[in-house]
Chains A and B, each alone.
Chain A
Amino acid sequence: MVSESTGESSSTPVQSKQPKQPKAQVQQGQGSKSEKGGEKGKSAKDLKKEKRAAAVAARGISETSTDSSSKTGLPNSNSVDSRQQSYSQQQHSNANSIGSSSIPKRPNHYTEPSALSLSTIQQNLFFSHLPKQIQPDISLALNTGKLHPIIIRLGVLMSSGQLRGANARTMGMMSAFREVIRDYECPDQAVLWKDLPIYLSPMIAWLEGCRPKGVGGGNAIRWLKSEINRLGEQGDRSEAEQKEYLVEAIGLYLRDRIEFADKVIADNAKEKIRNGDTVVTYARSSVVERVLLEAHRDMKASDPESGFKVVVVDSRPLLEGRHSLEALSGAGISCTYILLPLLSSILSQTDLVLLGGSALHSDGSLYSRSGTALVSMLAKEHRVPVVACVETYKFGEKVVLDGVSLNELGSIENLINLPNNHNNSSTTIKKLTKEDLNKNLTPLNLVYDVTPPSLITAVCTEIGFIPPSSVPTVLGKASSVV
């Protein structure tokens, strides 16, 4: 098996076809190539190849996932094809050489065989293409010397879930890159606008490996690259000036596209919340939280007697709604906390559903925390208007038809084990162990889902309320800006 697949992946035809191959395969070919480089000593050709791979990695979005999934074969399953398994074994044997000798442009997140079972168990037939959340290897990342420490820190925060939410992640990423650009020094013979993207690309790839950056983050990175390119057109300016320009531009981007956008969205959306209303929110969204807090503040300012109620709907395994609940009830809003199964009973008494989102695709479908589609479906059934609060920087040009083709796999530790249910003697739910998982069980934790546009009444953006069908119009206008 091993020899067979090695022959396949490192054979010349595959490599010669590299540029035209799908990205995932490029990565695999590259992996084996760099191994060979490590063994034989690096030739100039190898270096060139690696550079190109790094560029591909920076551009690409999904290959990390495929890469990492293929690296770690399922120990128990026979369905994993032979190439993948053998590939993982190769990787094992070369683990040491990668860290020291060759310069991996892409970070290799390496999971020990013992830790495999839980995080890789979701790799069954339908979901093996999805990126999953794994612990990134920090020491490896530090050893490469290509990653700025702040980026490594950010990656760890993202993958551990301490930095959650599209806005927070994008803001974190962009301000980290601002620091990186401040610290960046252009080499002597190089030109800044040409060298900087190459310098940044391994960091972007590392962050992508820690957690896919999503549509909003992708838009921000694309914008940053176009800004760097624009430096090339503008001609002679000193390095310090150019850096200063970029640092300032990032600040403006964060301010205009996220902070001000949120403010305007809050101003728009709070008009829809009236005295005595009951508003439903799902999980946690920074924008929705802001809308509710500002609506509450304004309502209390105009009339202390008035007010509205909030129903925070939550679901396992993340239970993010608790954070929302804390913020909202802390501000004096009367809240009700329920889990998703109870929603259908509550909805008939509510007036508005406010949702946040990770992305809004060009067909108007909302890409958001899994469960959102369920909430909107129920709301539609009960004729409760559904308003999605999304900044325009999260508008994506893709069309996504389902939640399977593009998604993320979350950690399943939380899914299979109830957090604090052990003491509860009345329930006799057996705690699942790794042995159970090694049988015919596939726990699945998809992080996002897709809400079709027909379920969304209106999208609240910084340019006002728009119907989901108008997203392409906005995208067409914004494409010059983004």
Chain B
Amino acid sequence: MAGVASPLSLSPAPSARGTSRPPAQTHASSSGKGFDVINAYKKAIEDDKVPHPIAAILALVELIEASTASTVTGLAQELTIGRKTLINTQPSLGVRAGCQLWERFFALSMGGEDFPSYKRTLISQGRSFCAITAPQCREKIADLAVSFLRDDCVILTHSYSRTVIQTILRAHKQHKRIRVYVTEARPGCLGMRTHQILTANGIPCTVVLDSAVAYVMERVDMVLVGSEAVVESGGLVSSVGTYQVALVAKSMQKPFYALAESYKFLRHYPLSQTDLPIPTTTTTSSSTNNNNNNDNENVNFNFRHLYGDIPLEFPTLIPISNNSNLNSFINQLSRPNSLTPQTRSPIVPGTPNNNNEKEKLEMTKEMIIINPIVDFTTPDLIDFIITDLGSPLSPTSVSQYLVAQFSS
């Protein structure tokens, strides 16, 4: 599900986003001709029903509409700039998937007509894809997936996925008795949202702590999750925690099904958890106004760059400087970072304040921020990926489909 991992889709106020992301603005202005791809993308994503890839495509279609280029190459150049801006600033991998899809569509449909009519067909086709084809994908998946849900079964789902909810609601309408465990999915706590929607529809739903997944797994009949992107190996990139749910499910031999629309297929082959093309905010301006923002998810990506590319890295600098041996020891342990030490924060992220020890120890905002927002579920843990391409696919056949698509 597009909305799963990124907390962006949660926050309703676009103005808050605007202030919290100064780098985005600067990027957008460089995309040329005054058109702001980022804003278009954000406007598109405001609609709760629009997933990230589709929002990205919509933004690119709008870019074409606004474009003043008079040749195909000119248009292609503008598109490339717009695409890069989106990919480099937006944290969701779905954006990358959407951009790749549009790029391929653009390349394939090139030639033939004269430029104005070509542009018109591009725009109309892009719009119709976003307005008609994309919602159909989700319907189709729900149709396919609902047959997997038996009467009187217990489902474990992770975080919030529109496709999963739609599937469960459809099964409910078919008078299948279904009970759902949903994980809380910290730090976004999107699981609460799933809980809200399901209970409102009269489906028994219990929220499970992320740390209680293994405890509850023995009562579960199947695991159903959404995804942010499906990668070339057949694995999933989705909201953090999915990997551990999959691991627990595998070890308890519970079926693990993933739901993914075909526009979420991403051309990337991760070798490890850290090998994901998630952009780090490239600007060096450490925006201090983030603290004012009470919505901690929104702060997320602006803080990330302080701590390097990789989530949960050990800090290279330690405030307790009386022990230099320890310092160098930590240095050896942690992966040397491409960021030069100057750009790093001189303070350690999230060392708790020791002044008031009576207070309950909690993760600080900084501690949360250095955590990953998505993880990569390896294909060997997934039983089926249910897509709109037809009958449920094994991860192997998904990767075969992807290779066939992209190698052409």
A residues apposed to B, CB below 8 Å: 272, 274-276, 302-303, 305-306, 351-352, 385, 387, 457-458, 463-467, 469-470, 472-474, 477
Beta-carbon contact of A466 and B232 below 8 Å: yes
- Listed by A's residue number, 29 A-B pairs whose Cβ atoms lie within 8 Å are A272-B271, A272-B275, A275-B335, A276-B336, A303-B338, A303-B340, A306-B338, A351-B272, A385-B271, A458-B269, A458-B271, A464-B232, A464-B267, A464-B407, A466-B269, A466-B403, A466-B407, A467-B232, A467-B269, A467-B403, A469-B396, A470-B396, A470-B399, A470-B400, A473-B400, A473-B403, A473-B404, A473-B407, A477-B407
Q: How far is the CB of B378 from chain A (nearest CB, A)?
A: 9
Q: What's the Cα separation between A75 and B315 when bound, in Å?
A: 70
- From A274, A385, A464, contact of B406 by CB (8 A): A464
7 more contacts with CB within 8 A, not counting A275-B338, A464-B269, A473-B400, are A272-B271, A276-B337, A305-B340, A306-B336, A464-B403, A466-B407, A467-B396
Q: How far is the CB of A476 from chain B (nearest CB, A)?
A: 8
Q: What's the Cα separation between A387 and B233 when bound, in Å?
A: 13
Enumerate chain A residues within 8 angstroms of B267, measured Cβ to Cβ.
Answer: 464
Beta-carbon contact of B272 and A470 below 8 Å: no
Q: Is B241 an interface residue (CB 8 A)?
A: no
Q: Enumerate B223-264 residues with CB–CB distance to A below 8 Å.
A: 232-234
Given contacts A302-B338, A464-B407, contact A469 B399 (CB under 8 A): yes
Considering residues A303, A305, A467, which has the most beta carbons from chain B within 10 angstroms of its beta carbon?
Answer: A467
Beta-carbon contact of B232 and A465 below 8 Å: yes
Enumerate chain A residues within 8 angstroms of B325, measured Cβ to Cβ.
Answer: none
Q: Mark B200-240, 1 if CB is under 8 A from A, else 0.
A: 00000000000000000000000000000000111000000
Enumerate chain B residues within 8 angstroms of A477, measured Cβ to Cβ.
Answer: 404, 407-408
- From A302, A351, A467, contact of B399 by CB (8 A): A467
Beta-carbon contact of A467 and B336 below 8 Å: no
Beta-carbon contact of B271 and A387 below 8 Å: yes
Residue of B nearest to A302 (CB): B338
- Closest 4 A-B residue pairs measured CB to CB? A465-B269, A385-B271, A463-B407, A276-B336
Q: What's the Cα separation between A463 and B400 when bound, in Å?
A: 13
Q: What's the Cα separation between A5 and B407 when bound, in Å?
A: 55
Beta-carbon contact of B234 and A467 below 8 Å: yes
Give the bracket for the number of chain B residues in contact with chain A: 20 to 34
Q: What's the Cα separation between A466 and B379 when bound, in Å?
A: 13
B residues apposed to A, CB below 8 Å: 232-234, 267, 269, 271-272, 275, 335-338, 340, 379, 396, 399-400, 403-404, 406-408
Enumerate chain B residues within 8 angstroms of A467, measured Cβ to Cβ.
Answer: 232-234, 269, 379, 396, 399, 403
Enumerate chain A residues within 8 angstroms of B338, measured Cβ to Cβ.
Answer: 274-275, 302-303, 306
Residue of A nearest to B337 (CB): A275
Beta-carbon contact of A466 and B336 below 8 Å: no
Q: What's the Cα separation between A467 and B231 when bound, in Å?
A: 11
Given contacts A275-B338, A303-B338, A306-B338, contact A474 B403 (CB under 8 A): yes
Q: What's the Cα separation between A351 and B273 when bound, in Å?
A: 12
Enumerate chain A residues within 8 angstroms of B337, measured Cβ to Cβ.
Answer: 275-276
Enumerate chain A residues within 8 angstroms of B408, measured Cβ to Cβ.
Answer: 477
Enumerate chain B residues within 8 angstroms of A465, measured Cβ to Cβ.
Answer: 232-233, 269
Enumerate chain A residues within 8 angstroms of B335, measured Cβ to Cβ.
Answer: 274-276
Enumerate chain B residues within 8 angstroms of A385, measured Cβ to Cβ.
Answer: 271-272
Residue of A nearest to B397 (CB): A469
Q: How far is the CB of B284 from chain A (nearest CB, A)?
A: 15
Beta-carbon contact of B399 and A457 below 8 Å: no
Q: What's the Cα separation between A276 and B334 when bound, in Å?
A: 9
Enumerate chain A residues within 8 angstroms of B272, measured Cβ to Cβ.
Answer: 351, 385
- From A274, A302, A458, contact of B233 by CB (8 A): A458
Q: How far is the CB of A452 from chain B (nearest CB, A)?
A: 14
Enumerate chain B residues within 8 angstroms of A474, measured Cβ to Cβ.
Answer: 403, 407
Beta-carbon contact of A466 and B271 below 8 Å: no
Q: How far is the CB of B21 from chain A (nearest CB, A)?
A: 26
Q: What's the Cα separation between A463 and B408 when bound, in Å?
A: 9
Residue of A nearest to B401 (CB): A473
Q: What's the Cα separation between A272 and B121 when bound, in Å?
A: 39
Beta-carbon contact of B407 and A352 below 8 Å: no
Q: How far is the CB of B132 from chain A (nearest CB, A)?
A: 30
Enumerate chain A residues within 8 angstroms of B269, measured Cβ to Cβ.
Answer: 458, 464-467
Q: How far is the CB of A276 from chain B (nearest CB, A)?
A: 4
Q: How far is the CB of B376 from chain A (nearest CB, A)?
A: 12
Given contacts A458-B233, A464-B269, A477-B404, contact A275 B336 (CB under 8 A): yes
Enumerate chain A residues within 8 angstroms of B336, measured Cβ to Cβ.
Answer: 275-276, 306
Residue of A nearest to B335 (CB): A276
Enumerate chain B residues within 8 angstroms of A458, measured Cβ to Cβ.
Answer: 233, 269, 271
Q: What's the Cα separation between A302 and B379 when bound, in Å?
A: 34
Residue of B nearest to A466 (CB): B403
Q: What's the Cα separation between A385 and B275 when bound, in Å?
A: 11
Residue of A nearest to B408 (CB): A477
Q: What's the Cα separation between A275 and B406 when bound, in Å?
A: 29
Q: What's the Cα separation between A458 and B399 when bound, in Å?
A: 11
Q: What's the Cα separation between A464 and B271 when bound, in Å?
A: 13
Beta-carbon contact of B232 and A352 below 8 Å: no
Q: What's the Cα separation between A470 and B335 when bound, in Å?
A: 33
Q: What's the Cα separation between A351 and B275 when bound, in Å?
A: 11
Q: How far is the CB of B340 from chain A (nearest CB, A)?
A: 8
Given contacts A275-B336, A276-B335, A463-B407, contact A457 B400 (CB under 8 A): no
